[in-house]
Amino acid sequence: MRLFPRLLLSHVLVIVLVVAGIFISAELVAPRFYRAHVEEMVQTMGPAGATLRGDLERGMRLTLTRALWAALPLAALVAMVTAYVSSRRVIRSVQVLRLQSMALASGEYHQRLEETGRDELADLAHNFNVLAGALERVEQGRVELIGNVAHELRAPLAALRGYADAMTDGIMTSAHASQAISREVGAMERLVRDLSLVSRVEAGQLDLRLRAVPVTALLQSIHDRFALAFEDKGVHLSLSADPPLTVWADEERAVQILTNLVGNALRHTPAGGRAQVTAGINGTHVILTVTDTGAGISPEHLPRIFDRFYRADPARSRTDGGSGVGLTIARGLAEAMRGTLSVHSVPGQGTAVTLTLPVGPP
């Protein structure tokens, strides 16, 4: 049996039970009320009234029963119409939800339900819309990810094809081509490695070895990695911290975040500029800030700066070795360690990226 007949039948059953309860209750409870009136009438009528007591009680009971039966058709009609309308309303909402769910299951993630009322059906419609919106965003992200990965792989694959053709035609020696091929393969390996890390970070499957890490150890690692690169480019790098500061983090991952941020500062700061890494404390968190005097980021780019493969300057796509997911990984790692990552930038003046990490375990 379908839902509407079952729902209407349940309403009818409730109506029948209510009517039966009214009749039984009236037959059991009503005598208590009209017997007092019968006694008053008997006393008023005197001795002759005593013989009429039974007739009076039967008359009142019969009057009550007839009144109930007379009111029954109208009450039943009103109850049936109400039950039908109520059942149709519920079924109509269920049918709309069923059709929209089928459309959602077939990939039409733009489907939405009208949210009216304040009952459970309205809550269900709201939850459906939230689910549909989440699925739509996931689908958009999946399509964008496939397109971006294909776009990222197109350049190294085209280069590999060119080097292979050059060797086949004898234009390039195998020794020279092997170096170029190794470079392009390395770029693809880096992209695959970064994508694997992004997926593990977003799925919460990252294995973190959290412990107390001195901030000076993090800054020393950054100095060892970037001192020569900054010197070669002619950009001044300064590192400072208020000792003794420690963070509760995975040292390798924290260094990875700072490496990405300082690498971006080096990449986008022209010769003669400055980059600085400072550390301070704010309550239960250590604040690590990487600032530079580069070109800065336009306000329209800031909301998407942490999106996968998003580049504020597409011209810098692959020439500098970036895979386009560095900031995505950095933010995911920071949040996995109960920290945050935020960006503030003024075009023409520079960029400041702030990393917060807790000073101790929760």
CATH number at residue 195: 1.10.287.130
Predicted local distance difference test score (pLDDT) of residue 101: 82
Average pLDDT, the chain: 81
Q: Does 260 share its domain with 174? A: no
Predicted local distance difference test score (pLDDT) of residue 357: 95
The tens digit of pLDDT for each residue in 238-291 reads 998 877 889 999 999 999 999 999 999 998 899 999 999 999 998 899 999 999
Domain of 243, CATH number, reads 3.30.565.10
Cis peptide before 244, with omega less than 30 degrees from 0? yes
pLDDT at 314 over 60: no
Instruction: Please indicate, yes or no, if residue 117 is contained in any of the structural domains.
Output: no
Q: Does 16 share its domain with 95? A: yes
Provide the whole-model pTM.
Answer: 0.58
Q: Does 243 share its domain with 331? A: yes
The tens digit of pLDDT for each residue in 191-207 reads 788 778 877 877 777 78
Neighbours of 264 (CB within 10 A): 22
* Alpha-carbon span 246 to 217, nearest angstrom: 9
Provide the 8-state DSSP code for 352. Answer: E
Integer-rounded Cα Rg, in Å, for the chain is 39
Q: Does 14 share its domain with 79? A: yes
Q: Does 350 share its domain with 218? A: yes
Find the domain containing 8 and state its range: 3-106
- Total domains present in the chain: 3
Provide the 8-state DSSP code for 118. Answer: S
Where is the domain boundary, 80, 106, 132? 106
pLDDT at 50 over 70: no
Q: Does 78 share its domain with 168? A: no
Instruction: Please indicate, yes or no, if residue 273 is contained in any of the structural domains.
Output: yes
* Alpha-carbon span 323 to 340, nearest angstrom: 22
Predicted local distance difference test score (pLDDT) of residue 317: 47
Write the CB contacts of 122 (distance below 8 Å, at least 6 apart in sequence).
115, 116
Residues 316-338 have a mean pLDDT of 74
Provide the 8-state DSSP code for 242. Answer: -
